[in-house]
Amino acid sequence: MTGRSVPVSAMVGRMVRDESGRRIGRVEELSAEIDLHRHGNDYVVTRVVIGRYGELDHVPSAVQVVCSGRQRWRRWAGYRQYEIPWQWLDFGDPAHPRLRRAADDA
């Protein structure tokens, strides 16, 4: 099992695309939980939160961040958030994460 060390900041904000290259959204948050095992207890990333603004995706992220106050406002701007399990993402190239399915998730 090869392990590569990557800073979280290199993964956050990256555009996630699916198999056919379609944009899904940007990585916004990584949820971690404790995984108890024989050799100790580590935090592992279980879910990745991806957000998309639809048309506004082209807007620089600083602007998105400043406008991100209320959930209500974001939804009005066409914002959607998806929480997907880690298995669905291929982080082989951390700068270009790929979704292992077509773009049909809840």
Partner 1 sequence: MESLSLVHDVLDAQLVDRREEKIGRADSLLLELRDGAPPRVTTILIGGAVRAERIGPWMTWLHRAIRRLMRREQDGVSRIPFSAMRRVGDTVQLDVDGEQLESGHLERWLAKHAVCRIPGASGERK
Partner 2 sequence: MKKWAEVALGVVTSIGGFLEVGSIATATQGGAEFGFQLTWVLLLGVVSLAFLMEMTGRLAAVSRRTYVDLLREQFGVRFFMLPLAGVLVVSVLVLSAEIGGVSVALQMATGLGFRWWAIPVVVVGWFLLWRGTFGLVEQGTAMLGLVAITFAVGAVKMHPHWAQLGASLVPSAPTHDRARYWYLAVSILGASISPYLYLFYSAGAIEDEWTLDHIGVNRVTAGLGNLFGGVLVIAALVVAALVFAPRHIQVDRYEQIALVLASPLGRAGFVLFLATLCITCFGTTLEIVLAVAYLLAQGFGWSWSENLKPDKDARFSVTYSVVLLLAAVPVVLGLDPLFLTNISMVLTAASLPVTVLPLISLMNDEHTLRTHVNGWLSNTALIVISILSVVLLLAAFPLQMLGGG
Which chain residues interact with partner 1 by CB under 8 A?
1-9, 11-12, 28-35, 40-47, 86-87, 91, 94
Asked if 81 is part of the footprint of partner 2 (rule: CB under 8 A), the reply reads no
Q: Are 87 and 98 in contact (CB under 8 A)?
A: no
Asked if 77 is part of the footprint of partner 2 (rule: CB under 8 A), the reply reads no
* Nearest residue (CB) to partner 2, 47 versus 98: 47
* Nearest residue (CB) to partner 1, 20 versus 38: 38
For the CB of residue 8, give the shortest distance to partner 1 in the complex, in Å. 4
CA dist., res. 50 & res. 44, Å (int):
18
CA dist., res. 75 & res. 39, Å (int):
43
Q: Beta partners for 37?
A: 40
9: helix, coil or strand?
helix
Amino acid at 40: G
Q: Which does 28 bind (CB under 5 to 8 A by kind): partner 2, partner 1, none?
A: partner 1
